[in-house]
């Protein structure tokens, strides 16, 4: 998936902290159990001994198998005894087990030498957080989106903004719920303050919840990061492959970036490469369609208008109405 090295390092240190935390809890519980029930210590010691004896038995040769079978039996009896003591003293059955966040890999991040799902999810989460650190992702869900702020009387084009927005809202909700590797791309345009960012982020939150990797950023921020990496010395950074490879890319506020030959070429590269790879992209813009055509090359606009679902946000600025 091509994330920056720093992300992997950070993910491993998060796992390490989880592991240590869980093991500290288990160790504290063991002390509490022993304080209330001294017999626990004897059992603990016996259990450790069965392990050592098994190791010795392996070295003992022909009778080893029988010895190990007996030891295993004895170990099971000790476990049963311990479970009984836990119950008698009012402790839950799993009291001595480390409460790992991920039961599959015990917070090691690997199962049978393969990366665990929890590790992959963590990497996506960290990558997303890094790229959208300035965004209040949590507050922008479908539930907090209000249709009531849109006018329910016809506008100058005879359209009722609330009805138009209700259709867009339902479309976005369905898009998020059904999102998968085959989902198409969306182009949202309309005046500023009509909810394009809110609905994009609501989609992002749902799609992340489904386990996909999502990158969100304003065109200005993402392009300036790319520019720094392209012309600077940060050879380690690899935002471009992240932008080209993630499951869903949300490019907010297209048209507000400072336009150069580099940015126009990058926009084309992103739109074109992701299109060829069949990856979904959501682009938001305050530009009208003629403005979009004037600002970018025909290659860019024809790709967007030709293969994206186009959502036109109507109505007056709801932030102004709310005031
Ligand atoms: Zn795991």
Residues 105-150 have pLDDT tens digits of 999 999 999 999 999 888 877 876 765 554 655 567 898 888 888 8
State the Cα–Cα distance between residues 216 and 198, nearest whole angstrom: 12
Measured in Å, residue 109 CA sits from the centre of ligand 1 at 5
* CB-based burial, 14-40: b 16+ in 10 Å, e otherwise: bbeebbeebeeebeebeeebeeebeeb
User: In this predicted structure, which of 5-19, 125-139, 222-236, 248-262 has the lowest mean pLDDT?
Assistant: 125-139
* Predicted local confidence at residue 82, as pLDDT: 93
State the Cα–Cα distance between residues 218 and 70, nearest whole angstrom: 66
Query: What confidence tier does 322 reach under pLDDT thresholds 50, 70, 90?
Result: very low
Measured in Å, residue 116 CA sits from the centre of ligand 1 at 5
**Range ranked top by mean pLDDT from 38-47, 135-144, 269-278, 292-301:** 269-278
Q: What angle do CA 220, 223, 224 make, to 5 degrees?
A: 80
* Predicted local confidence at residue 1, as pLDDT: 45
Residue 323 has pLDDT above 50, yes or no: no
* Predicted local confidence at residue 137, as pLDDT: 52
Measured in Å, residue 121 CA sits from the centre of ligand 1 at 9
Higher pLDDT among residues 135 and 160, named by residue? 160
Measured in Å, residue 59 CA sits from the centre of ligand 1 at 35
Residue 2 has pLDDT above 90, yes or no: no
Residue 320 has pLDDT above 50, yes or no: no
Measured in Å, residue 111 CA sits from the centre of ligand 1 at 7
Written as one string, the DSSP assignment of 287-312 is S-HHHHHHHS-HHHHHHHHHHEEEEE
Each residue of 64-121: pLDDT tens digit?
Answer: 788 888 888 999 999 999 999 999 999 999 999 999 999 999 999 999 999 999 998 8
Higher pLDDT among residues 80 and 8, named by residue? 80
* Predicted local confidence at residue 297, as pLDDT: 84
Measured in Å, residue 43 CA sits from the centre of ligand 1 at 30
Query: What confidence tier does 154 reach under pLDDT thresholds 50, 70, 90?
Result: confident
Higher pLDDT among residues 123 and 172, named by residue? 172
Residue 7 has pLDDT above 60, yes or no: yes
**φ and ψ at 308, to 5 degrees?**
-100, 150
CATH of 132-322, one of 3.40.50.300, 3.30.450.40, 1.10.150.300, 3.40.50.1820: 3.40.50.300
State the Cα–Cα distance between residues 137 and 134, nearest whole angstrom: 9
Mean pLDDT of the chain: 86
Measured in Å, residue 250 CA sits from the centre of ligand 1 at 28
Structure tokens at 106: 């015990």
3-state percent helix, strand, coil for the chain, nearest multiple of 5: 55, 10, 35
State the Cα–Cα distance between residues 60 and 68, nearest whole angstrom: 11
């Amino acid at each position: 998936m091509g994330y920056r090295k720093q992300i992997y390092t950070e993910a491993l240190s998060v796992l390490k902290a989880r592991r240590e935390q869980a093991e500290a809890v288990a160790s504290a519980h063991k002390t509490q159990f022993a304080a209330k029930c001294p017999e626990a210590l004897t059992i603990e010691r016996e259990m450790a001994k069965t392990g050592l004896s098994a190791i010795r038995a392996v070295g003992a040769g022909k009778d080893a198998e029988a010895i190990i079978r007996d030891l295993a039996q004895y170990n099971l009896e000790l476990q049963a005894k311990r479970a009984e003591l836990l119950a008698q003293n009012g402790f839950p059955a799993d009291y001595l087990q480390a409460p790992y966040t991920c039961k599959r890999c015990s917070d090691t991040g690997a199962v049978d030498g393969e990366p665990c799902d929890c590790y992959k999810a963590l990497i996506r989460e960290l990558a997303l957080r890094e790229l959208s650190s300035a965004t209040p992702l949590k507050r922008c869900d479908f539930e907090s989106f209000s249709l009531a702020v849109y006018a329910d009387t016809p506008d100058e084009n005879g359209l009722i903004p609330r009805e138009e927005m209700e259709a867009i809202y339902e479309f976005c909700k369905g898009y998020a719920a059904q999102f998968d590797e085959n989902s198409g791309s969306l182009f949202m345009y309309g005046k500023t303050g009509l909810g394009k960012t809110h609905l994009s982020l609501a989609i992002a939150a749902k799609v992340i919840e489904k386990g996909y990797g999502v990158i969100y950023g304003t065109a200005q921020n993402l392009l300036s990061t790319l520019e720094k990496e392209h012309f600077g010395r940060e050879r380690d950074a690899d935002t471009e492959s992240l932008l080209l490879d993630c499951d869903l890319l949300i490019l907010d506020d297209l048209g507000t970036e400072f336009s150069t030959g580099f940015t126009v070429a990058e926009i084309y590269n992103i739109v074109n490469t992701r299109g060829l790879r069949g990856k979904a992209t959501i682009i938001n813009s305050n530009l009208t369609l003629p403005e979009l055509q004037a600002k970018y090359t025909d290659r860019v606009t024809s790709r967007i208008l030709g293969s994206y679902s186009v959502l036109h946000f109507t109505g007056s600025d709801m932030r102004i109405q709310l005031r």
